[in-house]
Amino acid sequence: MTSAGSTKTVRRSVLAVPGSNPRMIEKAKGLAADEVFLDLEDAVAPAAKAAARANIVAALNSGGWNGQIRVVRVNDWSTEYTYADVITVVEGAGSEIDAILLPKVVDAGQVQALDLLLTQLEKANGLGVGRIGIEPQIENALGLRNIDAIATASPRVQTLVFGPADFMASINMRTLVVGEQPEGYEPGDAYHHIYMTILLAARAHGLQAIDGPYLAVRDIDGFRRNASRTAALGFDGKWVLHPDQITACNEIFSPRQADYDRAEEILDAYAFHTSVEGGARGAVMLGDEMIDEASAKMAQVIADKGRAAGM
């Protein structure tokens, strides 16, 4: 049996839900996040891992989802849990899983190991081979150093996901508030190099770039500040940990209406003017602004994001 999976491709908001909490999983089904990932990793205590796998399988098979991309985060390959996580959820509910989120990835081999295991499971369970995607999560210095090899390790890779909490711990950054600047590092953005490395690798290899969580869930202003930084750089979306963060996240990772309208206007004007005079005009004027091929490409980025968000 194969399932087409979610038809969504946009991932502005990625909701984290502990696999150990059936009530939260049921609630997530009706929320407006573009993706929901059911967690078997850090949100689930070791003694609760087996029960969480069963909860996730049951929740995926019982349906009622809102068209979200459905993802399971398994434990990383340095633990004793990963193989059983993958086998249990894919054997139990493989046709209902769009991708596996693989945390703390350090090299291409870890992605390839998951790819091989998924291929066997898909064959053995009559699922379409290659249908289940992989979302590698970059959470330490080695993963960041190996990011190009990780991004290209398997055609299943769909996104590169930042894990700021583990990452900042792994590089010994002196901070306790994920997403905020460490005290003493001013001015500047202590995250900038990491953000840009992930974004450049994603764009170089045709993947989505997804920012990780902002843990102070009651501080919506802080969430907005944090999300706006990666949205401005060009990231596709960000994790959300609480329903209150979803609306803000979808808004921040969609273009502003005025920018979307302007982008469509630029594209229309450029297409119109470059089609007259036998296509001989490279640059055209729109009001006071000169538009050429490169500015049309910038407008296309905003227009694509807006169209994907249903604007």
> Site residues (CB under 6 A) for ligand GLV?
103, 139, 163-166, 212-213
Query: Which of Mg ion, ligand GLV, none does residue 143 bind (CB under 5 to 8 Å by kind)?
Result: none
Among 166, 214, 245, 305, binds Mg ion (CB under 5 A): 166
- Taking the least distance from each CB to ligand GLV, the nearer of 98 and 135 is 135
Query: Which of Mg ion, ligand GLV, none does residue 212 bind (CB under 5 to 8 Å by kind)?
Result: ligand GLV
Can you give the length of the chain in residues?
311
Alpha-carbon torsion angle 2, 14, 236, 116, nearest 10 = -40
Query: Which of ligand GLV, Mg ion, none does residue 237 bind (CB under 5 to 8 Å by kind)?
Result: none
Among 163, 213, 237, 255, binds Mg ion (CB under 5 A): 163
Question: How far apart, in whole angstroms, are the C-alpha atoms of residue 50 and residue 277?
Answer: 68
User: Closest by alpha carbon to 221, among 264, 267, 282, 179?
Assistant: 179
The region of 28-36, 59-67, 74-82, 139-147 touching Mg ion under the rule CB under 5 A is: 139-147
Give the burial class of 82: count Cβ atoms within 10 A of its Cβ; 0-12 exposed, 13-18 middle, 19 or more buried.
buried
211 lies in the site for Mg ion, by CB under 5 A: no
Structure tokens at 191: 């995250």
- Taking the least distance from each CB to Mg ion, the nearer of 42 and 148 is 42
Measured from the CB of residue 139, what is the shortest distance to ligand GLV in angstroms?
Answer: 5
Cis peptide before 213 (omega within 30 of 0): no
State the pairing for strand pair 289-291/284-286: antiparallel
Measured from the CB of residue 128, what is the shortest distance to Mg ion in angstroms?
Answer: 30
Measured from the CB of residue 167, what is the shortest distance to Mg ion in angstroms?
Answer: 8
Measured from the CB of residue 75, what is the shortest distance to Mg ion in angstroms?
Answer: 11
Give me the residue label for tokens 């490169």.
294
Give rounded-to-5 percent helix, strand, coil for the chain. Answer: 45, 15, 40
Site of interaction with Mg ion (CB under 5 A): 139, 163, 166
